[in-house]
């Protein structure tokens, strides 16, 4: 079985961006994949128009079904209260007149409003969630598992739940609800299968991100309970983690060679995606880079081992 992994499409940012996404999805379908996994930020700010636009691309390529597509939300899909005003930090300087409205909405944002945004994401993509596996007592939309083939499941996580100005004033930090995830990982229906986890936020250490990209970038892009999340994944023998958020297509390892991770965030920059091939004995990965190195997209082909 062949899975294509992409992330951070940001549909709706510009007409050019939308055309790039359409070309990317079409080329992936033509490649002959069996499933498409997207680890968040499908839209620029989670508007109804953007959801309908990205879904139309999947429908045009016969991918909009649970059999063909698995998606999870990213911060751009959920934090509409600020991201409809500013797509990135550089936008603030250009659009200072929008700052008062963004701050006002930020002060009103709470867990109830967050759940409403999550429900909207689920509503638009509900056809892709059919036949998902959840513990009986779980009320949350995420996490859930989806069986791909007899011995392998995809496990979806919402890693965006850090809210409020104090901890998430750029609407880009995250937190995983570990209790729900632990219950799912111990579910008898998936416990003995190969497990591929999908989440939006990256697992690199803050130290490494500061070294590569600066303290300011790391401060506004982190997973608050990264260490605990990573340990839970290692303890449960996760075969592979797929994520996005940081705009780079790269494979790396956590804790030596213990936990293999694929970042698909470079899909934002051009025709870059990750190929996962599942066989009876192994899970093989390949980073496919279809563009030249650019200043806003780091070298997609490098392989790093991160302690």
What is the secondary structure of 259-298 as a DSSP string? EEEEEEGGGGGSSEEEEEEE-SS-EEEEEEE-S--BTTB-
| Three-state SS sequence of 148-174 | EECCEEEEECCCECCCCHHHHCCCCCE
Reported as a single tens digit per residue, the pLDDT across 136-157 is: 888 889 999 999 998 999 999 9
Q: If you average pLDDT over every residue of the chain, what do you get?
A: 87
Residue 180's Cβ-count burial label (10 Å; 0-12, 13-18, 19+) is: buried
* Structural domains of the chain, ranges and CATH numbers in brackets: 2-306 (3.60.21.10)
Q: What pTM was computed for the model?
A: 0.90
Q: Is 76 exposed, middle or buried (0-12, 13-18, 19+ CB in 10 A)?
A: buried
Place of tokens 């996404």: 21
- For the stretch 213-252, pLDDT in tens is 888 788 888 899 999 999 999 999 999 999 999 999 999 9
Report the alpha-carbon distance of residue 224 to residue 227 in Å, rounded. 8
Task: Give the number of other Cβ atoms within 10 Å of residue 69's Cβ.
Answer: 19
Residue 198 has what DSSP assignment? E
Q: What is the pLDDT of residue 107?
A: 65
SS3 176: coil
pLDDT confidence bin for 273, thresholds 50/70/90: very high
Torsion sign over Cα 92, 97, 98, 103: positive
pLDDT, tens only, 83-99: 765 666 555 556 666 66
Reported in sequence order, the residue ranges of the chain that DSSP labels E, i.e. its strands, are 2-6, 35-39, 69-72, 144-149, 152-156, 194-198, 240-243, 249-254, 259-264, 272-278, 283-289, 303-306
3-class secondary structure, 5: strand
Confidence of residue 159 (pLDDT cuts 50, 70, 90): very high
């Amino acid at each position: 079985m062949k899975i294509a992994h992409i992330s951070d499409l940001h549909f709706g940012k510009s007409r050019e961006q939308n055309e790039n996404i359409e070309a990317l999805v079409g080329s992936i379908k033509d490649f002959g994949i069996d499933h498409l996994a997207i680890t968040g930020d499908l839209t620029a700010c989670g508007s109804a128009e953007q959801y309908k636009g990205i879904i139309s691309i999947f429908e045009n390529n016969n991918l909009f079904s649970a059999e063909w597509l698995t998606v999870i939300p990213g911060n751009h899909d959920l934090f509409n209260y600020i991201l409809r005003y500013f797509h990135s930090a550089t936008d603030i300087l250009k659009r200072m007149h929008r700052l008062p409205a963004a701050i006002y909405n930020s002060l009103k944002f709470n867990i109830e409003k967050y759940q409403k945004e999550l429900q909207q994401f689920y509503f638009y993509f509900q056809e892709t969630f059919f036949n998902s596996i959840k513990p009986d007592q779980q009320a949350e939309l995420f996490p859930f598992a989806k069986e791909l083939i007899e011995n392998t499941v995809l496990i979806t996580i919402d890693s965006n739940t850090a809210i409020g100005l104090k901890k998430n004033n750029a609407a880009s930090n995250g937190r995983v609800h570990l209790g729900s995830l632990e219950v799912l990982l111990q579910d008898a229906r998936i416990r003995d299968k190969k497990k591929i986890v999908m989440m939006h936020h990256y697992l690199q250490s803050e130290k490494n991100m500061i070294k590569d990209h600066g303290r300011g970038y790391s401060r506004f892009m982190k997973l608050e309970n990264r260490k605990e999340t990573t340990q839970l994944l290692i303890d449960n023998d996760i075969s592979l983690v797929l994520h996005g958020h940081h705009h780079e297509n790269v494979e790396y390892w956590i804790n030596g060679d213990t936990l293999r991770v694929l970042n698909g965030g470079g899909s934002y920059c051009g025709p870059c995606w990750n190929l996962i091939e599942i066989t009876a004995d192994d899970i093989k990965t390949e980073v496919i880079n279809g563009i030249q190195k650019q200043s806003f997209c780091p070298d997609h082909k490098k392989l790093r081992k991160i302690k």
